[in-house]
Amino acid sequence: MANILTSRSENYSQWYNDLVTKADLAENSAVRGCMVIKPYGYAIWEKMQQTLDKMFKDTGHYNAYFPLFIPKSFFSKEASHVEGFAKECAVVTHYRLKNDPNGKGIVVDEDAKLEEELIVRPTSETIIWNTYKNWIQSYRDLPILLNQWANVVRWEMRTRLFLRTTEFLWQEGHTAHATATEAVAEARQMLDVYAEFAEKWLAIPVIKGRKSDSERFAGAVDTYTIEGLMQDGKALQCGTSHFLGQNFAKAFDVTFDNKEGKIEYVWATSWGVSTRLMGALIMSHSDDKGLVIPPKLAPIQVVIIPIYKKESELNEISEKIAPIIAKLKQKNISVKFDSADNQTPGWKFSEYEFRGVPVRLAVGPRDLKNNTIEIARRDTLTKQTISQDDIENVVENLLVEIQENIFQKAKTFRENNTRKVETYDEFKQVLDEKGGFILAHWDESAETESQIKEETKATIRCIPLDSVDEEGKCIISGKPSKRRVLFARAY
Amino acid sequence: MANILTSRSENYSQWYNDLVTKADLAENSAVRGCMVIKPYGYAIWEKMQQTLDKMFKDTGHYNAYFPLFIPKSFFSKEASHVEGFAKECAVVTHYRLKNDPNGKGIVVDEDAKLEEELIVRPTSETIIWNTYKNWIQSYRDLPILLNQWANVVRWEMRTRLFLRTTEFLWQEGHTAHATATEAVAEARQMLDVYAEFAEKWLAIPVIKGRKSDSERFAGAVDTYTIEGLMQDGKALQCGTSHFLGQNFAKAFDVTFDNKEGKIEYVWATSWGVSTRLMGALIMSHSDDKGLVIPPKLAPIQVVIIPIYKKESELNEISEKIAPIIAKLKQKNISVKFDSADNQTPGWKFSEYEFRGVPVRLAVGPRDLKNNTIEIARRDTLTKQTISQDDIENVVENLLVEIQENIFQKAKTFRENNTRKVETYDEFKQVLDEKGGFILAHWDESAETESQIKEETKATIRCIPLDSVDEEGKCIISGKPSKRRVLFARAY
């Protein structure tokens, strides 16, 4: 077996890197920090895209496409945005190469220098709001509810496949509204869409919340987030939705005549999830034997492996299996029949287990006689021999059960790893010995937040939307606090 | 009516620009040569993507994703590729901005200069073959059949929306094979896929052919093309498929152990179509009244417009229409019921005509009494009043008929504008007075081809695959020729 993984307990980080590359999800490219997303990884991303795209359209959004390049000056227009975004980025300065006069390959043609440098988009608020300026005159032009699927570039110093790469794929929604109320409702709606997607498709339980001032998106009034807990006890931000107020409208002078005939700045939101979700998916469910993929996102949901010695046995099995495959496909279940003769059944069992295929069926000569089939599930690694009759319904129900089980397992893990603490000592002890989510009182000051971050590397993941009012004292300053907030070390 | 177009006969180029922007398909952005694809235009592109993506998968291909950036040195590795591609391109030289010490916005941080410049991909052969090197050892690793949907950048001096833009969207297939025969078959298969898509979905009849040596893709052994004829008599290359031989394998040292145990270079193809197809679609079918979109690609296939004065009439119409909408949706027909009360029916008729919605249904109080409905088709601009009974089947059949009619109309146009000429004088006369495709004899020399191009701006679009052997004389040199080739002025 080539697919030996470092165990999670031994080195979680190494386990993750091994798994991503050995399961053919992605690999590092020749370009620093940029990844190649391999077909198996991309197939999972495509399923995520299709699902989200439908959810966006069902909530009234349309797709569009805006330029990859943004003029440098655009970033200076929104004061806090430039601080947060325009620094570590790819800068295009020239538009032509030429043959090296000394005959050594090609060199940049210094005569082809751009008057104004172009930035490869790290996010598209600026170019989009510069465009919206021409689209919006009256309240009748609102709302604008757009999304784009695109690549973005942020020059990260330390990169990890899917989790933090220089180039990544994402979607970014950008909406324009006539009122603050409507824009806030939009930002909250999209947070709910993300949470539903995370829980029902990715099978990752998430905490919905608001970011603290210092963790907010550069240019936002409020940033909402969904936070997941990975198996190593670290948090991962799975998606964010921002209420941008009138910040970008003011920066790009986007006004409209409201219903009362008065000129007003437009209200905005933006929201995004990225290929980072691939990292979340892997780190939430997979184990020392390889990937565990929730059935709803698995490129192959069922693999069927024939056990045979003679060609005639394979023929008999294939004949018996054909109608089962047809019935599974009719139920929109993606099924692969692997009858390749250059690998043993044992090798195949191990391979599909490693690749996280949720259900495995195996059929041998004895099964033919007995009208039976072996059915194995990836999530529990259990198997049993059952009748071939009605197998398509058994599989269909099992896929639902596996999806639910994977989610429940992750939820139980999170519950077992979410702890309330009352003192800073307790906070540090839990963090170092157990990790996970910590609910603690905080005095709402940036100083306290920054001290905790500096001393423990834990950050406020969010102020949970469902947090209950509770009088308490800040674990650092002892000042009064009205509710607990969620801390964790994070990716 | 705001949507007045310059007529095609007056100024075809202006008509095209007007239509693209006024029909909300795309517009120029703040970044030179880069376009914004607006929601209505993007919805058509999405339908193209979905259709092609399924066709690629049905022929055994998988999607993947490779980096946006390519190290400059990669382009020097394939000699002819660098000549054709690496010159006019966006060059990333720095990875950081900083605050201007003089307080004037932000400037490039000269300390953050890349050791090796990165090129924003104009096409991805080099980075992909550099990656394939690690994926291929034995014939068992072949074939590799991948596609990617991506943005690419070519620094064009003169740009036009969809037809030639600095950044555009496309798909690029990149396959690796053990034999030349298999690679050629792949390149030809994808040409057939493109031709089928062009004719059955875009409703554009195309000529399949091989490019002459001078028109070949930089780095290819053979370039296959599909060529369409636009309404102004100019050709448009709609898609290309390249047999790359072992050129890229040699440039990136990609070898494999063949079945006989010998080391050999891998054989390659690449093939692509882009948002240029949007331009082809528009220029093939649309008219002075606006867009004409083939039903299979129309974002809205049927619009229903109620004719009413009183609220109660609208309610009655809506009630009557609801089951019809449901039945149409059940047939996967996309339908829009436009009951907005801030525009007149006349305005709506004109608007949907302009946007190329294939079928329009209108229902007024009289129709309610008579159980009738007015049905109008965009392609012929004809209308009639028919019974409401069975309307969903009538519409379904009509959409098929419109798709076919649009294709036949374009085919008849092409047939009427494809001419055989025997002399260079005749060639120039036809070109100047009529345009269109010209079939003429050519001596297969680059000199002749270049002379014709220089003197007439016409190029050899292709050597048609179905050209029949026919003895003749080159229109320039008088040298013997074995078959006619296809000339035209082109986009």
User: Could you read off the pLDDT of B415-457 as tens digits, one per residue?
Assistant: 999 999 999 999 999 999 999 999 999 999 999 999 999 999 9
CA distance A478 to A476: 6
Residue A296 gets which letter from DSSP? G
Among A32, A19, A25, A18, CA closest to A165:
A32
Task: Return the structure tokens found at B113.
Answer: 């200069």
Among B133, B118, B325, B397, CA closest to A97:
B118
The length of chain B is 491
Using the beta-carbon criterion (under 8 Å), do B120 and A93 form an inter-chain contact? no
**8 A C-beta contact, residue B228 and residue B284:** yes
**Three-state DSSP state, B3:** coil
Q: Which of A43, A91, A95 sits opposite B97 (nearest CB)?
A: A91
Q: Which amino acid is at A409?
A: K
Q: Which H/E stretch holds residue A251?
A: helix A247-251
Among chain B residues, the shortest Cα distance to A94 is held by B91
Task: Return the structure tokens found at A395.
Answer: 């599989």
Q: Domain map of chain A by residue range?
A: 12-285, 300-397, 418-488
**8 A C-beta contact, residue A99 and residue B75:** no
Among A241, A205, A193, CA closest to A418:
A205
| Fold exhibited by the domain B302-398 | Rossmann fold (3.40.50)
Mutate to test the interface with B, among A92, A129, A157, A167 (most CBs of B within 10 A): A92
**8 A C-beta contact, residue B268 and residue B183:** yes
Q: Which amino acid is at A437?
A: F
Q: What are phi and psi of A485, to 5 degrees?
A: -120, 165
CA distance A231 to A225: 20
Using the beta-carbon criterion (under 8 Å), do A63 and B71 form an inter-chain contact? no
Does the beta carbon of B144 lie under 8 angstroms from any beta carbon of chain A?
A: no
Among B377, B392, B386, B383, CA closest to B322:
B392
Among chain A residues, the shortest Cα distance to B97 is held by A87
**Three-state DSSP state, A187:** helix
In the prediction, which pLDDT does B105 show?
81
CA distance A455 to B111: 31
What residues in chain B have per-residue pLDDT under 50? 1
**8 A C-beta contact, residue A131 and residue A121:** no
Using the beta-carbon criterion (under 8 Å), do B131 and A36 form an inter-chain contact? yes
Using the beta-carbon criterion (under 8 Å), do A131 and B30 form an inter-chain contact? yes
Chain mean position to CA B154: 17
Q: Which of A68, A69, A94 sits opposite B93 (nearest CB)?
A: A94
Q: Which amino acid is at B442?
A: W
CA distance B484 to B237: 19
Cβ neighbors of B487 (< 8 A, separation 6 or more) are B427, B431, B437, B438, B439, B440, B452, B458, B459, B460, B461
Q: Quickly count: other Cβ atoms within 10 Å of residue B13's Cβ.
A: 11
Using the beta-carbon criterion (under 8 Å), do B30 and A120 form an inter-chain contact? no
Among B455, B458, B457, CA closest to B486:
B458
Q: Quickly count: other Cβ atoms within 10 Å of residue B105's Cβ.
A: 15
Does the beta carbon of B169 lie under 8 angstroms from any beta carbon of chain A?
A: yes
Scan for tokens 């085919």, then name that residue.
Answer: B411
Scan for tokens 């603290």, then name that residue.
Answer: A212
**8 A C-beta contact, residue A467 and residue A206:** no
Does the beta carbon of A69 lie under 8 angstroms from any beta carbon of chain B?
A: yes
Among chain B residues, the shortest Cα distance to A63 is held by B39
Sheet of A372-377, strands arranged across:
A335-337, A302-306, A359-363, A372-377, A383-387
Instruction: Tell me which CATH code domain A300-397 carries.
Output: 3.40.50.800
Residue B290 gets which letter from DSSP? B
In the prediction, which pLDDT does A80 show?
74
Q: What are phi and psi of B451, to 5 degrees?
A: -65, -45
Task: Return the structure tokens found at B280.
Answer: 């082809």
> Among the residues of B308-422, which ranges form H helices?
311-330, 345-354, 365-370, 391-416
Q: Which of B39, B68, B97 sits opposite A151 (nearest CB)?
A: B68
In the prediction, which pLDDT does B86 show?
61
Burial degree of A341 (CB within 10 A; 0-12, 13-18, 19+): exposed
Q: How many CA atoms lie within 13 A of B26 on its CB side?
A: 30
Please give the torsion angle defined by the CA atoms of residues A62, A67, A68 and A74, in that order, rounded to the nearest 10 degrees.
-110
Task: Return the structure tokens found at A263.
Answer: 């000129």
**8 A C-beta contact, residue B75 and residue B82:** yes
Among chain A residues, the shortest Cα distance to B68 is held by A167
Among B301, B286, B268, B332, CA closest to B130:
B268
The length of chain A is 491
CA distance A175 to B179: 51
CA distance B425 to chain A (A): 40
In the prediction, which pLDDT does A2 show?
59
ipTM: 0.96
Chains A, B: CB pairs < 8 Å? 180
In the prediction, which pLDDT does B15 show?
98
In the prediction, which pLDDT does B491 show?
96
Among chain B residues, the shortest Cα distance to A65 is held by B37
> Among the residues of A359-457, which ranges form H helices?
365-370, 391-416, 424-433, 446-456
**8 A C-beta contact, residue A347 and residue A1:** yes
| Fold exhibited by the domain A418-488 | Translation Initiation Factor IF3 (3.30.110)
Q: Which amino acid is at A359?
A: V
pLDDT per residue of chain A (491 residues) written in tens, 0 to 9:
457 899 999 999 999 999 999 999 999 999 999 999 999 999 999 999 999 999 999 999 999 999 999 999 998 887 777 777 668 999 999 999 998 888 778 899 999 999 999 999 999 999 999 999 999 999 999 999 999 999 999 998 899 999 999 999 999 999 999 999 999 999 999 999 999 999 999 999 999 999 999 999 989 999 999 999 999 999 999 999 999 999 999 999 999 999 999 999 999 999 999 999 999 999 999 999 999 999 999 999 999 999 999 999 999 999 999 999 999 999 999 999 999 988 999 999 999 999 999 999 999 999 999 999 999 999 999 999 999 999 999 999 999 999 999 999 999 999 999 999 999 999 999 999 999 999 999 999 999 999 999 999 999 999 999 989 999 999 999 999 999 999 999 99
Q: Are strands B437-441 and B484-488 parallel, antiparallel or unpaired?
A: antiparallel
DSSP track, A448-479: HHHHHHHHH--EEEEEETTPPP--EE-TTT--
Cβ neighbors of B96 (< 8 A, separation 6 or more) are A87, A88, A89, A91, A155, B108, B109, B111, B112
Strand partners, B359: B302, B377
**8 A C-beta contact, residue A464 and residue A485:** yes
**8 A C-beta contact, residue A171 and residue A149:** yes
Residues of A in contact with B98 (CB under 8 A): 87
* A 361-390 → B contacts, CB under 8 A: none
CA distance B91 to B122: 11
**8 A C-beta contact, residue A107 and residue A155:** no
Please give the torsion angle defined by the CA atoms of residues A7, A8, A10 and A12, in that order, rounded to the nearest 10 degrees.
130
In the prediction, which pLDDT does A378 show?
98
CA distance A138 to A120: 32
**Three-state DSSP state, B80:** helix
Among B178, B15, B30, B154, CA closest to A132:
B30
Strand partners, A490: A235
**8 A C-beta contact, residue A41 and residue B65:** no
CA distance B8 to B31: 29
**8 A C-beta contact, residue B34 and residue A71:** no
Q: Which of B31, B75, B97 sits opposite A87 (nearest CB)?
A: B97
Q: What are phi and psi of A216, to 5 degrees?
A: -70, 155
How far lies B146's CA from each of A230, B137, B175, in Å?
Answer: 32, 17, 6
Among A388, A394, A329, CA closest to A359:
A394
Residues of B in contact with A106 (CB under 8 A): 72, 75-76, 82, 86
Does the beta carbon of B446 lie under 8 angstroms from any beta carbon of chain A?
A: no
CA distance A231 to A221: 32
Q: Name the CATH code of domain B12-285 (choices 3.30.930.10, 3.30.420.40, 1.10.10.10, 3.40.109.10).
A: 3.30.930.10
